[in-house]
Amino acid sequence: MGRHSLEYPKEALNKVKRVYALEQIHSLVNSSPLVHVSLGPSSSSSPFPVTLPMIGQMGSFSRPSASLGDPLDLYLHGHISSRLFTTPSSSSSSSRVPVCVSATHLDGLVLSLSAFNSSYNYRSVVLFGHAAPVTDELEKLYALKLLTDSVVPGRWDAARLPPTRAELQSTAVLRVEIASGSFKARDGETGDDRHDMENEDMRRLVWTGVVPVHQVFGSPVASSYNRVEETPAYIAEYAQEQTRENAEYAVNAIKAQKK
Amino acid sequence: MGRHSLEYPKEALNKVKRVYALEQIHSLVNSSPLVHVSLGPSSSSSPFPVTLPMIGQMGSFSRPSASLGDPLDLYLHGHISSRLFTTPSSSSSSSRVPVCVSATHLDGLVLSLSAFNSSYNYRSVVLFGHAAPVTDELEKLYALKLLTDSVVPGRWDAARLPPTRAELQSTAVLRVEIASGSFKARDGETGDDRHDMENEDMRRLVWTGVVPVHQVFGSPVASSYNRVEETPAYIAEYAQEQTRENAEYAVNAIKAQKK
């Protein structure tokens, strides 16, 4: 078993380590169908932060050839009426809203002898950054393609194009410049304290192990007004591939050795 | 298709509607293996809110017989060193930290003719409330059993009991008193604008439909030091039952009629 953590790298770090950390962090965000975006309290009248589940993807408009190991921005989109796009500070002169973005994968239920040592296998990223609305039309289209293709790769070009003017106007896109962040994960089997491990009676009584957990993308269900006879391969194969990868990760994570 | 939303009910609402809203909201939180808990910026030195993935469950220590349709508190636990338990205001006189708790289930990828009308089927709850540390030992044990049994029902009594003094001391429990919140969901098939629906050429070109998504609890994998021959039924059956329920929900959600 192991607990792993990585900091979002600063320039000072050596290159191999920096690229590795960026790849881990960016891949986890990009393989998450949903991220949770949090904002601080909106005003003195409400003391509560606000969290919104959204689609988010790492990318680089200024350098579209950038790979996952390069510094990237996070793109988010939503209806212009959404809280994130109407927050007071977004219309102020600075137009930059501090946000926290969280992406979490649950990989297993870890059932140890003691409840205290029980846990989850998981992978989690938290990113801190400043969100600002994207006003450049080409960057907006870049981000909308990026976000649409994150749901099913190739869907942007397969769907009706181009977006209408009304669609573009009612969709807001945010670019989050990342300031810092971290990656945390747990994998491996159960772990227990010595005093429990040495209790042979208890070990014969309490089952210990891991229930792997993963997300399944099931068989596509055509809509009532669909006129395409077969589900296109880019959808059906993507669903199968993602499901297989998710399942393999969850099972392999249990076998991970302590590093 | 439909978009549904419910507000966390105030006393004024009629009883049937109130109980229904509470049941929907509380069940969704309790069926989420993870919730995301957000705090406002910790100090003037950092402008960012912070989000932590945690295990959370609705319950009532003062009224353990309360059902899901009754007002309930949210319980969270974590290591005492965690940010949530060491936040400055938690040690101040008020000891109440404003938090936002989010629970989200992804149920399907909704692929419409236009990218703009594409969406997710999902169910999501956001709760706002004040978190305070639980100091009463009996309430702490109540919450730890509640949280452990949320991972696999019955696990608390099956695992090594009671918790040691050291375990209890290093585990902090928070009770969140709910101030407000809401439930949002989308279900059903795809939806498109009339101008796209009337374009027969496009409908013959672009596949429309929903890819159901659900979480699988796979076959339990025993640990290297496990001495119990068979996986106990309360674990194996729970994993199968949850998987079946999740799969059924995702597929049935596609068939939901507009309300």
pLDDT in tens, B110-154: 999 999 999 999 999 999 999 999 999 999 999 999 999 999 999
Asked if the Cβ–Cβ distance from B33 to A197 is below 8 Å, we say no
> A204: alpha, beta or left, given left = phi > 0 and alpha = psi -120 to 50?
alpha
Structure confidence at residue B234 (pLDDT): 98
- Report whether pLDDT(A80) > 70: yes
Confidence label for A63 from pLDDT (cuts 50, 70 and 90): very high
- Report whether pLDDT(B202) > 60: yes
Bridging pattern class, strands B35-39 and B97-111: antiparallel
Q: What is the rounded distance in angstroms from the CA atom of residue A244 to the CA atom of residue A239?
A: 9
Q: Check if the beta carbon of residue A43 is closer than 8 Å to that of residue A87.
A: no
Structure confidence at residue A246 (pLDDT): 98
pTM for the predicted model, two decimal places: 0.94
Asked if the Cβ–Cβ distance from B251 to A218 is below 8 Å, we say yes
Q: Check if the beta carbon of residue B157 is closer than 8 Å to that of residue B63.
A: no
Q: What is the rounded distance in angstroms from the CA atom of residue B26 to the CA atom of residue A53?
A: 18
**Phi (first) and psi of residue B51, to 5 degrees:** -120, 135
Q: Which residue has the higher pLDDT, A90 or A22?
A: A22
Confidence label for B90 from pLDDT (cuts 50, 70 and 90): very low
Structure confidence at residue B93 (pLDDT): 46
Asked if the Cβ–Cβ distance from B204 to A227 is below 8 Å, we say yes
Q: Check if the beta carbon of residue B143 is closer than 8 Å to that of residue B175.
A: yes
Contact partners, residue B241, CB within 8 Å, separation at least 6? none
- Mean pLDDT (chain A, rounded): 92
Mutation test of the interface with chain A: which of B81, B99, B111, choosing the one with the most A Cβ atoms within 10 A? B111
pLDDT, mean of residues A41-57: 90
Domain ranges of chain B: 12-255
What percentage of chain A has pLDDT greater than the value 70? 93
| Contact residues on chain A for B231, CB-CB shorter than 8 A | 207, 209
pLDDT, mean of residues B150-163: 95
Give the minimum alpha-carbon distance from A17 to chain B in angstroms, rounded to a whole number. Answer: 25
Query: Chains A and B: how many Cβ contacts under 8 Å?
Result: 303
Asked if the Cβ–Cβ distance from A228 to B215 is below 8 Å, we say no
Give the minimum alpha-carbon distance from A13 to chain B in angstroms, rounded to a whole number. Answer: 23
Contact partners, residue A30, CB within 8 Å, separation at least 6? A57, A58, A68, A150
Asked if the Cβ–Cβ distance from A49 to B98 is below 8 Å, we say yes
Candidates A34, A49, A223; nearest CB to B49: A49
Confidence label for B208 from pLDDT (cuts 50, 70 and 90): very high
- Report whether pLDDT(A23) > 80: yes
Residue B186, both tokens: 């989308």
Structure confidence at residue B9 (pLDDT): 83
Structure confidence at residue B85 (pLDDT): 72
Question: What 3-state DSSP class applies to B93?
Answer: coil
- Mean pLDDT (chain B, rounded): 92
Give the other-Cβ count within 10 Å of A157's Cβ: 12
Nearest of B171, B89, B102 to residue B132 by alpha carbon: B89
What percentage of chain A has pLDDT greater than the value 90? 81
Structure confidence at residue A1 (pLDDT): 60
Give the minimum alpha-carbon distance from A18 to chain B in angstroms, rounded to a whole number. Answer: 23
pLDDT, mean of residues B45-51: 92
The answer to whether the peptide bond before residue A212 is cis (omega within 30 degrees of 0) is no
Structure confidence at residue A93 (pLDDT): 46
What percentage of chain B has pLDDT greater than the value 70? 93
Structure confidence at residue A158 (pLDDT): 96
Asked if the Cβ–Cβ distance from B214 to A218 is below 8 Å, we say yes
Give the minimum alpha-carbon distance from A174 to chain B in angstroms, rounded to a whole number. Answer: 16
Q: Which residue has the higher pLDDT, A127 or A94?
A: A127
Candidates B49, B50, B208; nearest CB to A225: B208
Confidence label for B91 from pLDDT (cuts 50, 70 and 90): very low
Asked if the Cβ–Cβ distance from A49 to B34 is below 8 Å, we say no
Fold of the domain spanning A12-255: Pnp Oxidase; Chain A (2.30.110)
Residue B137, both tokens: 């030992």
Question: Which pLDDT tens digit goes with each residue over A122-172?
Answer: 999 999 999 999 999 999 999 999 999 999 999 999 999 899 999 999 999
- Report whether pLDDT(A11) > 80: no
- CA distances A229 to B129, B206, B207, Å, are 50, 10, 8
Closest chain B residue to A200, measured at CA: B227
Question: Which pLDDT tens digit goes with each residue over A207-253?
Answer: 999 999 999 999 999 999 999 999 999 999 999 999 999 999 999 99
Asked if the Cβ–Cβ distance from A239 to B211 is below 8 Å, we say yes
